[in-house]
Copies of this chain bind each other. A is one copy, B any other.
Amino acid sequence: MKAKTTAGSGNPPPAFQIHVRVYWEDTDAGGIVFYANYLRFMERARTEWLRSLGHGQEAARQSGGGMFVVSETQVRYLRPARLDDWLTVTVRVVEAGKASMVFDQKVLRGDEVLTEGQIRIGWVQPGPDGFRPGRIPADMLAALTGDPARDHN
């Protein structure tokens, strides 16, 4: 995943974070968080970021405006999280194109990085034969990259 376009070059890139509690549902018989569930935590952070910028995904989906889809995930599981842990999940844009974006995300317990991932997402919109790839709506792209000029694209 090489960045075609670096978001916010020259400026610190926009970033966001949420907190997540680990519950029984997140763990497995190894006594730790089941690795696939970190993808859930990371998606919660992206979703809350969008929401904080005024973009609810259900409204867009129900109005037929399309939705984000995840096209690639690359995750390294460094240290395990456990039941009751209070985690921080960060998200930062590392690539922003018209058809896809890449986010750098980390899951931390205090200062300790437990998991880090790069998540590529695209956009699909309803077509005659189901959903098909399309351009990310300009206002969402602008909001996530912190580039106000893009609002007018």
Contact = CB atoms under 8 A, between A and B. Distances in A.
Interface of A: 21, 23-25, 27-32, 34-37, 39-40, 43-44, 47-48, 51, 56-59, 61, 67, 69-77, 80, 82-85, 131
A70 B77 contact: yes
9 contacts: A21-B47, A25-B28, A25-B40, A29-B58, A30-B69, A56-B84, A58-B83, A59-B84, A69-B80
Contacts of A77: 69-73
B75 A61 contact: no
The majority secondary structure among interface residues of chain A is mixed
A144 to B, nearest CB: 17
A110 B76 CA distance: 30
A126 to B, nearest CB: 11
Q: Which of A32, A67, A75, A84 has the most CB of B within 10 A?
A: A84
A27 to B, nearest CB: 4
A44 B24 CA distance: 8
Instruction: Identify which of A24, A28, A40 gathers the most chain B CB atoms within 10 Å of its CB.
Output: A24
B61 A83 contact: yes
Contacts of A69: 30, 35, 77, 80
A27 B29 contact: yes
